[in-house]
Chains A and B, each alone.
Chain A
Amino acid sequence: MLEVTLDKSKLQELLKLLGTDRRLVAPVVDKLGTVFSEITDPSLVCLEAVNTNLSPKETVFPQWETLYTFEGNQIDKAELQIEETVLFGVRPCDARAFELLDRVFTWDGVNDPYYLKRREKTLVVALACNAPGEACFCTSVGGSPASESGADVLGFDLGDCLLLRALTDRGKTLLNSVSSLTTAATEEEKKAAQNAASEAEKLLKPVAVPEDLAALKESFDAEMWKELGLKCLGCGVCAYACPTCHCFDITDEVRKGAGRRVRSWDTCAFSLFTLHGSGHNPRTTQDERYRQRVLHKFLYCRENFGEAFCVGCGRCVASCPAGLDLRAVLERLASTAKVT
Chain B
Amino acid sequence: MDPITNPYVPYPVRIDEVTIENDERDLKTFKLVFLDPEHEKAFAYTPGQFAELSVLGKGESPIGIASSPTEEGYLLFTVKKTGVVTGELHSLAEGEVIGVRGPLGKPYPIDRMKGKNVVLVGGGFAFTTLRALTQYMIADGNRSEFGEITVIYGARSPGELLYKEELKAWEARDDLKTIITVDKGDGAWKGREGFVPTVLEEVAPSSKDALMAVCGPPIMIKFTLPVVEKLGFAPSDTILSLEMRMKCGIGKCGRCNIGSKYVCKDGPVFTLEELNALPAEF
Contact = CB atoms under 8 A, between A and B. Distances in A.
Contacts of A259: 56-57
A80 to B, nearest CB: 8
Nearest to A301: B260
B57 A254 contact: yes
B56 A252 contact: yes
A313 B276 CA distance: 35
Range class of the B interface residue count:
35 or more
Contact of B247 (A73, A250, A276, A280): A250
A249 B8 contact: no
Interface in B119-145: none
A277 B82 contact: yes
Given A68-B8, A274-B255, 20 more contacts: A73-B96, A75-B56, A104-B251, A107-B251, A112-B7, A114-B8, A248-B253, A249-B253, A251-B59, A252-B58, A261-B56, A263-B8, A266-B254, A268-B254, A276-B243, A277-B61, A278-B243, A282-B258, A288-B281, A292-B281
Interface residues of A, number: 50
A194 to B, nearest CB: 38
Given A105-B252, A276-B243, A113 B5 contact: yes
Given A113-B6, A283-B281, A278 B82 contact: yes
Nearest 10 CB-CB pairs, A to B? A247-B254, A303-B260, A277-B82, A254-B57, A300-B260, A282-B281, A70-B56, A250-B247, A73-B97, A248-B253
Contacts of A283: 281
B218 A296 contact: no
Tell me what chain B mostly uses at the interface: helix, strand, loop, or mixed: loop
Contacts of A278: 82, 243
Contacts of A275: 245
A104 B255 contact: no
Contacts of A299: 260
B225 interface: no
A252 B59 contact: yes
Contact of B252 (A67, A104, A273): A104
B60 interface: yes
A114 B218 CA distance: 37
A220 B279 contact: yes
B218 A280 contact: yes
Nearest to A114: B8
B176 interface: no
Interface in A48-101: 67-68, 70, 72-73, 75-80
B244 interface: yes
